[in-house]
Structure 1
Amino acid sequence: MIDALAAEWYKLRSVRSTAAVFGTVALFTLLCLLWSWFVARYWDGLPAERKATARTAPAEQPLAVSLPVCAVVLGALTLTSEYGSGMVRTTLAAMPRRLTPFAAKAGVAGAIMFAAALVSLAAGSVAGDAIVGDRAVPTFQGPAGDVAVHLLWLALTTAAITLITFGLGAVLRSTAATIASGMVVLMVLPALARLLPFPWDERIWSAMPGNLAGQIAGAPGSSGVHGVLSPTGAVALLVTYAAVALGAGAYSFTRRDA
């Protein structure tokens, strides 16, 4: 398994699409700094009576929005690109026990997406706090411990979305179809859920994978609506999504011809 992990790591870091994904993560990390600079300038220009009611998104907000999209792209390309190029047959010839390369691909994709998400979120949050300084901006800053837990769960949810999309890619075997399906789950279905009658609108919206991190550990001081699930329920649902997607993907990968 160690050799398989090393091989998959080498393949994933060698393709241009991976560099493009992490370049996008780096760009949105810089946008976190730009957002924090804007918040500081905006706060300085507010009159005293407005400061008591002003609300802003936290420093890591640009990454919180973009990381799930990057996770979908990386999760899809990790396996579907090999189906598109035919390299999957070479992989299976070298490792005929199909569960081994499948697990190695999933493990490498999930791990590097988690690491990239955690590092970028921490960098954006720390730099944002330094830029805003001692300005008491409501909903922007919180206790360091609470912020750390929030960022950790954002990174873990990003890794889970990577694994979910990876499993979906093993079933669909098409990069375009997998990315499109992932975007529908992340962007379209939550918006459609809001059109349903109460209380199903909030219940279904809360169950979407992209909305679970805020229900597990929301941004400190955030005044937004996070959903109706308890933290334990949100974690259980996230694990279930990943397990079902990986299970379906493993079954498809091991049972179908390459």
Structure 2
Amino acid sequence: MTAVFSSEWLKLRSVASTYHAMATAALPIVLGIVWTLYATGLADERGSVRAAAPEQGFLPLLQMSLAVLGVLTITSEYATGTIRTSLVAVPKRGTLLLAKSGVVGLTMFLAAHVILFVTHATSRLMAGDRYLGFNEASFADELPMLLASGLSATALALVGLGLGAVIRSTAGAIVSVIALLFVLPGIAVYLPPPWNTRVSTLLLPNLVPQIADERLSSRLGDGFLPPWAALALLFAYPVVTLAIGSYTLRRRDA
């Protein structure tokens, strides 16, 4: 099993798409600096502003970038035909997907949290003693949201891997991730009450504040899951997707 993990790690770090996706995922750091400069300029003029925290405002970019990388981890092998070589080296297809999941999960977990913490730290250092709204709370108070955000990005990367195993098409899997991350939450808001609240609380993007023990937007009413339930549901997304992907991988020809 160790050899399979090592092989998958070698694959991940030897293709250009990994570095392109990681560079895109790291953009929140740069955008956070630009946003903080803009907010501090407004604060110098007005005395204070209420700006969104950059690590939260640019979280969808991080989530989408890592999800795309999760998709490419397997669909690129189908596109190039190297999946056949992989299956010859690792005849147990479930083991192959498990190794990919381990490598993707660990890499994305570390990358997501490094990016989020660096974005958080640079924006607060640049803000200084100016009142920008997002620098009111202490680091301890914001830590649950940072950790939940990193876990959500990791979960989406694994969901992307699972969808890639099921659909086998890079475009199709990415469109599915976009639907999960952006389209479904937008549709859920317009469902009749109380279904808008019930559905919205269960969607992956809305689990982050619930894991951090914060209520959702007031437009969704009082829908709220306890942190342990939201965390369990977050884990369920990649587990279910990867289980379907593993079943599909075993049943189909490469």
TM-score by length of 1: 0.91
| AA of the residue aligned to 1:239 | F
Do the aligned partners of 2:127 and 2:135 also contact (CA within 8 Å) in 1?
Answer: no
Structure 1 equivalent of residue 75 of structure 2: 80
Sequence identity (%): 40
Q: Which blocks of at least 5 consecutive residues in structure 1 are unaligned?
A: none
Shift of 1:62: 4.2
Shift of 1:61: 2.8
| CA–CA separation in structure 2 for the residues paired with 1:104 and 1:34 | 38
Structure 2 equivalent of residue 180 of structure 1: 175
Do the aligned partners of 2:189 and 2:200 also contact (CA within 8 Å) in 1?
Answer: yes
SS in 2 for 1:60: helix
Shift of 1:45: 1.3
Structure 2 equivalent of residue 246 of structure 1: 242
Structure 1 equivalent of residue 228 of structure 2: 232
Structure 2 equivalent of residue 151 of structure 1: 146
Do the aligned partners of 1:29 and 1:120 also contact (CA within 8 Å) in 2?
Answer: yes
Query: Cα 1:72–1:183, aligned 2, differ >3 Å: closer, same or farther?
Result: same
Do the aligned partners of 2:216 and 2:224 also contact (CA within 8 Å) in 1?
Answer: no
Residues 94-139 of structure 1 show CA distances to partners (whole Å, capped at 9, x for unaligned) of 1112222111111111111111111011111001110001223334
SS in 1 for 2:58: helix
TM-score by length of 2: 0.92
- Any residues of structure 2 matched to 1:1-258 within 5 Å, and which? 1-47=1-47, 51=48, 54-217=49-212, 224-225=217-218, 228-258=224-254
Q: Which blocks of at least 5 consecutive residues in structure 2 are unaligned?
A: none
| CA–CA separation in structure 1 for the residues paired with 2:97 and 2:216 | 41
Residues 41-62 of structure 1 show CA distances to partners (whole Å, capped at 9, x for unaligned) of 1112115xxx4xx422113134
Shift of 1:142: 1.5
Shift of 1:223: 9.1
Do the aligned partners of 1:139 and 1:223 also contact (CA within 8 Å) in 2?
Answer: no
The alignment covers a number of residue pairs equal to 251
| CA–CA separation in structure 2 for the residues paired with 1:72 and 1:17 | 13
Residues 157-213 of structure 1 show CA distances to partners (whole Å, capped at 9, x for unaligned) of 111111112111111111111000110111111111111111211221221112211
| CA–CA separation in structure 1 for the residues paired with 2:112 and 2:182 | 19
